Amino acid sequence: MTNLHNEWWRKATIYQIYPKSFCDIGGKGTGDIQGIISKLDYLHALGIDAIWLTPIYCSPMIDNGYDISDYYNINPDFGCMADFDQLLLTAHQKGIRIILDIVVNHTSTEHQWFQSAIADKNSPYRDYYIWQDPKNGREPNNWQSKFGGNAWKFDQKSGQYYLHLFAEQQADLNWENPKVRAEVENIISFWAEKGVDGFRLDVINLISKQPSFPEDESDGRKFYTDGPRAHEYLQRLSESVFNKYGSVTVGEMSSTSLAHCQQYSATDATELSMVFNFHHLKTDYKNGDKWTNAPLDLLQLKQIFNYWQQGMYNKGWSALFWCNHDQPRIVSRFGDDKKYRVQSAKMLANALHMMQGTPYIYQGEEIAMTNPHYQSISQYRDLESINMHRIMLEEGKTEQQVMAILANKSRDNSRTPMQWNKKDQAGFSDVQPWITVASNYPEINVEDALLDQNSVFYHYQRLLILRKQLDVICWGDYQDLCPEHEQLFCYQRTTPEQKLLCINNFSAEQVPYALPDSLCLENTRVIIANYNSPEQVDRNGQVVNSLASKAITLRPFESLVLLEAV
Ligand code: GLC
């Protein structure tokens, strides 16, 4: 029986790096591995335990590395294997672990397996991919690519279609073929042998497709999401690789369910360590459609967190996150990226970091970087955004409407260069970067954040320390204190020894709130807050971390975390 308390990652915080936009030492306008090495002290100061690197392998970069053409080598744009080895060694010396991104639902069509498969129907690699004959002279079914359009691409030469759930340059691998599964084991073992500490598994719940490829009344996702053999495949990988090397693993689960996630991340370590799901980030979609502008539905957000926090308790383990390289910046999304940028960023951080799970910080989140508010389609680089721009125009939206949607929903919102300082290009590069720097870098950058004791950076630093110090953050159960409240998100975490209350105002208004009757104020103190208010400093200038009354009024985006010793 695993002793959960011995697993380092349950009290850890992981920092995600999107290398292309992190730090450019080579002067190419794109970030590189040496750039990452140069910032390890900064990350160490933040207090993170591990880095998740998005893909750094050889790739034509159609989807910025999620289209891998060689799993065993480093993309020269990022450096070479010696650079990677140096990163691993240096990070380890500083006590930082390295997690690599493994993309094995699909490969680039430039991968030699696919090149061989498409060149010759009798190639031993043909069956590495998913080929189907046309049906009634058309695509084998109506499944849709996640990046828009049909998910099948016709190959003139063989007269068959291949499946691509993402871009047509990302061909889905055929996991039914045991040779594919053996290749995947070899790839992961290769990196684990090098000393890599863990893996983030890209869209890993899509690897098992319904083998009859049925037509769907919708986009087909129910026939390949959490598919028939997904658990079996993960159990085998876990046995043959992850458990052998002691790797931490986090699976990216697209459109998944609680029951599946309980199983993927079960505490007996038969599959993965933890899982990402995205339901909480669909609370600003209109009718389930990402490509719309709708305000946050706070009640729904709370309901989703409640469902997952309670559902995973003692059963599985969640990866907690607001941001990643596919999501807009959270402060622009659920906060206020102008007047209350700092307060709302800290509030959002508290709201997430007091939950059960392993939190992830996406580069720049710790200084509350914002969406760049691009004005022209020429500034976008992401293929999904460019596809959707075309599709939304075809559907009859105006250019202005489409640009307004992209400004809120595009994946490029999070891919702008990291803002290090006030110098040109925000100190990211000496040359014009591959994607435009957000214009607010003179005000929002790491250098300034480090000089300001009240910055968002130091707030995150404190949250990371609290997670290590307080068992209740790691192990407490979860209870929503005001599920029906339109502006507040307040929840409680409890162990037999401690009670923690996380009180958050998601609005720009003043909101009264009565703390629960059961709370004993004498035993309660504020452990982190986001306002340096007169109320928290007494006449002698001493910080007062206790509350005078249970009737409180929360200021715009105010957040308080209270700890009661019970
Ligand atoms: C995941 C990645 C995303 C990528 C997609 C296809 O969702 O996070 O960036 O485009 O998988 O690999």
Read off the tokens for 142.
Answer: 């109506």
- Please choose from 106, 172, 225, 326 the residue to mutate so as to test ligand 1's pocket, defined by most ligand atoms within 8 A of CB: 326
Please say whether the beta carbons of 27 and 431 come within 8 A: yes
Q: Band of the pLDDT at 309, cuts 50, 70, 90? A: very high
Measuring from atom 2 of ligand 1, which residue has the nearest CA? 202
Q: Which residue is associated with the tokens 């590189």?
A: 32
**446 φ, ψ (degrees, to nearest 5):** -60, -45
Residue 75 identity: N
CB distance 321 to ligand 1 below 6 Å: no
Q: Give the pLDDT band of residue 512 (cuts 50, 70, 90).
A: very high
Q: Report phi then psi at 98, rounded to 5.
A: -120, 130
φ, ψ for residue 489, nearest 5 deg: -125, 105
CA distance 301 to 487: 12
Give the Cα separation of 433 and 375 in Å (integer). Answer: 17
Which amino acid is it at 105? N
Amino acid at 90: T
426: left (phi > 0), else alpha (psi -120 to 50), else beta?
A: left
Three-class secondary structure of residue 493 per DSSP:
strand
pLDDT surpassing 60 at residue 541:
no
> Does residue 103 sit in helix, strand or coil?
coil
Angle, in degrees to the nearest 10, between helices 230-237 and 178-194: 40
Among all residues, which ones are annotated catalytic?
A: 202, 252
The verdict on pTM exceeding 0.95 is yes
Locate 160 and state its tokens.
């068959």
The finding on whether 253 has its CB within 6 A of some atom of ligand 1 is no
Q: What's the chain's average pLDDT?
A: 96
Ligand 1 center to residue 293 CA distance, Å? 22
Beta-ladder partners of 160:
155
> How would you write 309-348 as a 3-class SS string?
HHHHCCCCCEEECCCCCCCCCHHHHCCCCCCCHHHHHHHH
| Among 162, 150, 265, CA closest to 215 | 150
Task: Decide whether any atom of ligand 1 lies within 6 Å of the 203 Cβ.
Answer: yes
Count other Cβ atoms within 10 Å, centred on residue 56.
Answer: 25
Q: Which atom of ligand 1 is nearest to the CA of 326?
A: 9
Determine the atom of ligand 1 nearest the C-alpha atom of 167.
6
Amino acid present at 404? A
Per-residue pLDDT, 534: 44
For the residues 34-48, what does the mean pLDDT come to? Answer: 98
Identify the pLDDT of residue 566. 82
Is the predicted pLDDT of residue 256 greater than 60, yes or no? yes
Q: Check pocket membership of 66 for ligand 1, CB cut-off 6 A.
A: yes
Ligand 1 proximity of 347 Cβ (cutoff 6 Å) = no
Compute, in angstroms, the gap from residue 66 CA to the centroid of ligand 1.
6
Report the separation in Å between the CA atom of 170 and the middle of ligand 1, taken as the mean of its atom positions.
10
Q: For residue 202, how far is its CA from the centre of ligand 1 (angstroms)?
A: 6
Task: Note the pLDDT of residue 6.
Answer: 85
The region of weakest confidence among 87-91, 121-125, 397-401, 521-525 is 521-525
How confident is the model over 490-510, as pLDDT tens digits? Answer: 999 999 999 999 999 999 999
Q: Whose CA is nearest to atom 9 of ligand 1?
A: 326
Confidence of residue 536 (pLDDT cuts 50, 70, 90): low
202 in contact with ligand 1, CB cutoff 6 A = yes
Residue environment code for 427-445, b if the CB has 16+ CB neighbours within 10 A, otherwise e: bbbeeebbbbbbebbeebb
Cα 64 to middle of ligand 1, angstroms: 9
pLDDT at res. 473: 98
Ligand 1 midpoint to CA 366 (Å): 23
Residue 382 CA to ligand 1 centre (angstroms): 11
Q: State which amino acid sits at residue 317.
A: W
Centroid of ligand 1 to alpha carbon of 254 (angstroms)? 10
Closest alpha carbon to 199 in 104, 306, 101: 101
Give 160-176 pLDDT, tens digit per residue. Answer: 999 999 999 999 999 99
3-class DSSP state for residue 380? Answer: coil
- DSSP-derived letter for residue 55 is P
Tokens describing residue 385: 């955004």
Cα–ligand 1 centroid distance for 147 (angstroms): 10
Looking from the CA of residue 105, the nearest atom of ligand 1 is 12
Q: Per-residue pLDDT tens for 257-284?
A: 999 999 999 998 899 999 999 999 999 9
pLDDT category at 546 given cuts 50, 70, 90 is confident
In which band, very low, low, confident or very high, does the pLDDT at 2 lie, cut at 50, 70 and 90? low
What is the number of the ligand 1 atom nearest to the C-alpha of 106?
A: 12
Ligand 1 atom 5: the closest Cα is on which residue?
Answer: 66
Of 53, 63, 207, 382, the residue with max ligand 1 atoms within 8 A of its CB, to mutate for a pocket test, comes to: 63
With a 6 Å cutoff on the Cβ, whether 103 touches ligand 1 is yes
- Ligand 1 pocket test, candidate residues 66, 99, 201, 323, most atoms within 8 A of CB: 66
Residue whose pair of structure tokens reads 């190639």 in the numeric block: 123
DSSP 366: G
pLDDT in tens, 54-75: 999 999 999 999 999 999 999 9
Examine the pLDDT at 396 and tell me if it is beyond 90.
yes
- Using 50, 70 and 90 to split pLDDT, how confident is the model at 544? low
- What are the tens digits of pLDDT across the range 332-342? 999 999 999 99
DSSP for 229-291, written as a single string: THHHHHHHHIIIIIHHHT-EEEEE-TT--HHHHHHHT-TT-SS-SEEE--GGGGTT-BTTBSS
Mutate to test the pocket of ligand 1, among 166, 205, 388 (most ligand atoms within 8 A of CB): 166
* Cβ of residue 61 lying under 6 Å from some atom of ligand 1: no
- The response to whether residue 326 sits with its C-beta less than 6 Å from ligand 1 reads yes
Q: Give dist(CA 492, CA 215) in Å, integer.
A: 45
Element (H, E) at 563: strand 559-565
Alpha-carbon span 367 to 458, nearest angstrom: 9
362 lines ligand 1 (CB under 6 A): no
